[in-house]
Amino acid sequence: MTTTTTDLSQPRPDAAREPATGFWASYGRAWLHTPGSALYLLAVFVLAMISISLLASLFWTSVGLLILVIGLPLMVLTLLIARGLGVADRFMLQLTGLPRIAEPEWNRDAPTSTGFWATLTRPVRNAHYWVYLVHGMIVTPIISTISFVITTVWLSVGLGGLTYWFWGMFLPSGAENGDWGQYVSGAMPWLFGGWDANAVEIVLYLVAGVVFTFTMPWVLGGLARGHHAVATGMLGRWKSDELAAEVRAEAAARGAAVHAEDVALRRLERDIHDGPQQRLVRLQMDLAALERRAEAGEADAAADLAREARGHAKAALDELRALSSGVAPPLLQDRGLAAALDALATSSPLWVQVEVDPAIDRAVSQEVARTVYFVVAELMTNTVKHAGASAATLRATLRRSTTGAPTHLDVWVVDNGRGGAVLSSGHGLEGLRERVAGLRGILVVQSPVGGPTSVGAHIPLTVAP
């Protein structure tokens, strides 16, 4: 067995370079998103016209029919359509290159009841649906109309002015056809004196085209950012959504932890019943027989029984130590998770390569350390018993935020066995998944037939060390 320890906390030397700064660099980056912003500003106007016509007619019809049974389902349908149109708006905003708007919590107010009326009226009791309705029926038609007008003006003047020298020759000329170039040259002889009227028009259109085209990234980008700001406030997640998601995640983690502990206790009870308990019963019987032989004066037979009883006592003690080490080994309590994982690899009959970030002992709480140790011990046992592997890799690393604080613990056990491991109800990997879920983590199993098998536990570190 080969054991190595590496420090993975230092930044890589080939880290990405900082983007170029300066006016022209930022201006060039703004131009990269200008076509997408223009496409969004034109398309969202069409979506807004569809929204106001569809949602207004359906909503006011449903209000008028509320006295009848059909009014409530029609209102729910209106809210669902408003949600779909809002989602379409958020999806099209990705054309602008602006940050993606997070999905709201649509079931944040969902009751535990699953009856027909409770399910039907769920959108009515969710504030997000009403905000989406207001956005699609009132807000987005107003701002989309304004942005559409400005966008069409900037695109037509910018692109039309730059190309007027070409398509202007196909237009009729002369004073009777609105040839305004001669009036401009007459009004400003100090600038256009002696110029041909057509040349004056080409120059003025070209200047306007250059100005509008040069400012196009800022104007269209600003309009897109305005839409994005409104959509973030009305169509995105709220702070209360984060709290609701946190409560549900905590409840799910608590339920998974309780179930995992129940399964572990039942398994421990079964192991004690099948192992140490049977040996202790046999030890009790041997001691009773030893007492009878000693009273009868059969010294040799009593000595044999004493030796056999000692063997059963030693075996029971070994089994109890093995069971207790699976729960909380002394090494984990005394020297930390890194040393305990290294000891697991050392005691394995396989050749195990260990890659452990030495900072995990400072970043990981005792609760997380116990769960990780149990999961790794089970995975190593599975590797020996079921995988048919000859070597394995145990890797434990920390994921860090931009400030350098550890945010997640990633633990991988990779073997070169036959593969084919799956998460299925009632099996060992499912129990490990529930244990990890109890810490709001996830268990990832990648095990194609023929191997290799990679099992990873990814656990968030919510408590500061």
Tens of pLDDT along 415-441? 888 888 877 665 667 777 877 877 778
Residue 330 is predicted with a pLDDT of 66
User: Lowest-confidence range among 107-111, 221-225, 241-245, 350-354?
Assistant: 107-111
The residue among 171 and 175 whose pLDDT is bigger is 171
How confident is residue 177, by pLDDT bands cut at 50, 70 and 90? very low
pLDDT one-digit tens code per residue, 53-77: 999 999 999 998 988 888 889 999 9
Q: What is the mean pLDDT of residues 293-302?
A: 66
pLDDT higher than 70, residue 392: yes
Q: pLDDT band for 193, please (50, 70, 90 cuts).
A: low
**Of the listed ranges 134-148, 293-307, 422-436, 449-463, the one predicted with least confidence:** 293-307
3-state secondary structure the chain: CCCCCCCCCCCCCCCCCCCCCCHHHHHHHHHHCHHHHHHHHHHHHHHHHHHHHHHHHHHHHHHHCCCCCCHHHHHHHHHHHHHHHHHHHHHHHHHHCCCCCCCCCCCCCCCCCCCHHHHHCCHHHCHHHHHHHHHHHHHHHHHHHHHHHHHHHHHHHHHHHHHHHHHHHHCCCCHHHCCCHHHHHHHCHHHHCCCCHHHHHHHHHHHHHHHHHHCHHHHHHHHHHHHHHHHHHHHCCCHHHHHHHHHHHHHHHHHHHHHHHHHHHHHHHHHHHHCHHHHHHHHHHHHHHHHHHHHHCCHHHHHHHHHHHHHHHHHHHHHHHHHHHHHCCHHHHHHCHHHHHHHHHHHCCCEEEEEECCCHHHHCCHHHHHHHHHHHHHHHHHHHHHHCCCEEEEEEEEEECCCCCEEEEEEEEEECCCCCCCCCCCCHHHHHHHHHHCCCCEEEEECCCCCCEEEEEEEECCCCC
Q: For residue 14, what pLDDT band results from cuts at 50, 70 and 90?
A: very low
pLDDT for residue 259: 55
Highest-confidence segment of 186-200, 416-430, 442-456 = 442-456
Q: Provide the pLDDT for residue 203.
A: 77
The pLDDT score that the predictor gives to residue 4 is 46
